[in-house]
Amino acid sequence: MHSRELIKELIEKGKHFCVAPWVHLHVTSLGNMNLCCSARVNGKGYGSLNENCFQELWQGEIIRNFRLKLLADEADPRCAQCYQQAKLGLWNLRTEINNLYAYKYLDWVVDTDSEGFSPNAKPVDWDIRFSNICNLKCRSCGYYSSSRWFYEGKVLGRWKFTDSNKAIIKITDSAKLLNDLGPYFSYVDRIQFAGGEPLLMEENYHLLQILDGLNKHDVELSYITNLTKLALKNYDIISFWKKFTKLRIAISLDGLGARCEYLRKGLKWDQVLENWSRLKLECPHSRIHINYTVSAYNIWHLPDFHRWMVEEKYISADEIVLIFLVEPFCYKIKILPPEMKKQVIAKFQNHIQWLKGQTPFYGDDRLESNGRFLQWFDCLQYLNDQDWSHRIPIFVNETRKFDELRHESCVEVFPELEPLFHCYGKMSRSQ
């Protein structure tokens, strides 16, 4: 039992406290119950749901020790990504979860005993990745998040495969997991669907059927999808989405047309736009935004992409989230040479001026605190945070490897990057 006032102070002023182990459930495609999707975990996190039932892990020794560590406001190396993003003033999952749930479920934290046991703590925020099944193989992705990476991963020896003969990795018994979670369906507040590609996982449709049967249509459904498919077998996702009142759709796109098709191999641009039109027509209540993974490939094109999507009325100016690529390191925007960074900065500055005249930014007297506006400045700060231009030869080599495997040409799609291949490509070949 803890003092309510001390816990409130911890929430407000603590540098490391996070309410996630009291409210959040994250399950990986390997069946591991992890801290969250941002955590850097070597091993099984809280444990494997292929080997244990949910309740054993939810109040198990590992999660209880983690709760105690957070109550002491101690840093944890597994949480380094959130710490780093917060230091740069960027969005981070720790801040999001605390804002959503820390006060709402304050009593669960207060009631935590000296061994980390919280008798009333329940998973109200779910993020279950039933498998890695996906129909795309994005340059910024990998085997654990996309089954389509299996062949190239084996050719290049990139990952330790759990089964060398299987492209798809998944939770061993998803039906058992959903059964274990049965008592918690009445408490769930938000379910996040990611992948792999969530619209291609049959288990996600089973989950929606359970919610539908319980008339839990007030649960917030939050999807991260490539929007290339709207149906699986006899399931039509739009028919489900129409029933749920709180629907958020993040569409993962990294450029226009051929640029997006290059970075998200297997995507057909025209098909995505067709599906988008149907989504807006049949689910007008949905809140849609774009997730744009910012990398060395596409940062130059980002302002052009954003302006086109706004002017073609697919989104408003604030309906894009810039996600700074974490891995592979050689694709980060920090690797660009100083002269190219200057060009990007000039292009962004012009775009920011254009943004100020767009709805909903125009006339906003709180613009300087609007995260969707400030993220453009955050991007420039991240760009200039460090000089990683010594990694350009690695970028060139990696790009050439995949271009050869996929019969593609980066410089044909991204001609602005040709100087990197001309100058640094010679360097990489001579090393």
DSSP string, 184-248: GTTT--EEEE-SS-GGG-HHHHHHHHHHHHTT-TTSEEEEEE--S-SEETTEEHHHHHTT-SSEE
- As beta bridge partners, residue 247 has 221
Q: What is the pLDDT of residue 159?
A: 66
What contacts 133, CB < 8 A, 6 or more positions away?
Answer: 147, 168, 170, 195, 196, 197, 200, 201
Residue corresponding to tokens 């935590």: 112
Residue 296 and residue 388 in contact, taking contact as beta carbons nearer than 8 Å: no
Distance CA 164, CA 331 (A): 27
Q: pLDDT over 70 for what percent of the chain? A: 97
Structure-token pair, residue 164:
């060398």
Distance CA 397, CA 33 (A): 36
User: What is the arithmetic mean of pLDDT over 355-375?
Assistant: 92
Of all helices (H) and strands (E), which one includes residue 251? strand 247-252
Distance CA 133, CA 167 (A): 8
Q: What digits encode the pLDDT tens for the residues 300-317? A: 999 999 999 999 999 999
Q: What is the pLDDT of residue 163?
A: 55
User: What is the arithmetic mean of pLDDT over 269-298?
Assistant: 98
Residue corresponding to tokens 């990694």: 391
Q: What is the pLDDT of residue 430?
A: 46
User: What is the arithmetic mean of pLDDT over 230-256?
Assistant: 98
Please enumerate, as own/partner, the contacts of 337-344 that have beta carbons within 8 Å and a separation of 24 or more.
337/389, 337/392, 337/420, 338/387, 338/389, 340/300, 340/419, 340/420, 341/383, 341/384, 343/300, 344/299, 344/300, 344/380, 344/383
**Three-class secondary structure of residue 371 per DSSP:** helix
What contacts 429, CB < 8 A, 6 or more positions away?
Answer: none
Q: What digits encode the pLDDT tens for the residues 172-226? A: 999 999 999 999 999 999 999 998 999 999 999 999 999 999 999 999 999 999 9
> What is the DSSP-derived secondary structure letter of residue 149?
G
Strands 24-27, 125-128: pairing is parallel
Residue 406 and residue 138 in contact, taking contact as beta carbons nearer than 8 Å: no
How large is the C-alpha radius of gyration of the chain? 22
φ, ψ for residue 275, nearest 5 deg: -65, -35
